[in-house]
Amino acid sequence: MTARVGIGYDSHRFAPGGPLILGGVRIPFDAHLHGHSDGDAIAHAVTDALLGAAAAGDIGEMFSDQDPANRGRDSMVMLRAAVARVRARGFAPQQVDVAVVSEQPRIASHRDAMRAAVAAAIGVAVDAVSIKGKTNEGMGWIGRGEGLACMAVATVTPLASPRTG
């Protein structure tokens, strides 16, 4: 069974007023992630990683930011829709690993809740989801606290072929 890997990246700018939604978790914070949807950069990076592993398009093509229907959309619902597309292309998500680069908020105390939410959305065990927080050592736009970035890799394997005969 050959595993395939995909990569995803997303960034969002902070805007005044919380809560901040990340990894499907509402984090008490004085800013939120500005975006057409709810701005959940973990969900968006994981979505693109899974779609990439299946060579099944990308989040911008699935959920246009020009479409009013996507305004304020729950990104975990978008992630579930992407998983459905990946499965329709014949692949099952196996595992994801995420790096969050942010000066604030620190995510350590929310990590397990995020892992559980992402695992539920993509249909894997919690121990198949890794989420790690990093700062940017004060450098650049992340260091100045203008926003945060997420990187994700995901693996998928072919779905078992239906038995015939």
Q: Of 18 and 158, which CB lies nearer to Mg ion in the complex structure?
A: 18
Nearer to Mg ion, 22 or 92 (CB): 22
Footprint on residues 66-85 left by Mg ion (CB under 5 A): none
Question: Is 10 or 148 the residue whose CB approaches Mg ion more closely?
Answer: 10
Least CB distance to Mg ion at residue 125 (A): 26
Quote the CA–CA distance of 13 and 15 in Å, as a whole number. Answer: 6
Residue 149's SS3 state is strand
Cβ at position 12, least distance to Mg ion in Å: 6
Q: Does 44 bind Mg ion (CB under 5 A)?
A: yes
Could you tell me the smallest distance in angstroms from the CB atom of residue 18 to Mg ion? 18
Total residues in contact with Mg ion, by rule CB under 5 A:
2
Is residue 48 a contact point for Mg ion (CB under 5 A)? no
Q: How many CA atoms lie within 13 A of 130 on its CB side?
A: 12
Provide, for the chain, the percentages of residues in helix, strand and coil under a 3-state DSSP scheme, each rounded to the nearest 5.
35, 30, 35
Q: Which residues does 53 contact at the CB level (< 8 Å), separation at least 6?
A: 4, 5, 6, 86, 91, 93, 154, 155, 156
CB of 11 to Mg ion, least distance (A): 7
Residue 28 sits at φ, ψ, to 5 deg, of: -65, 120
Alpha-carbon gap, residue 132 to 49, rounded angstroms: 16
CB 150 to Mg ion: min, Å: 9
Tokens matching residue 14: 């902070």
10 counts as binding Mg ion under rule CB under 5 A: yes
Residue 32 interacts with Mg ion (CB under 5 A): yes or no: no
Binding residues for Mg ion, rule: CB under 5 A, are 10, 44
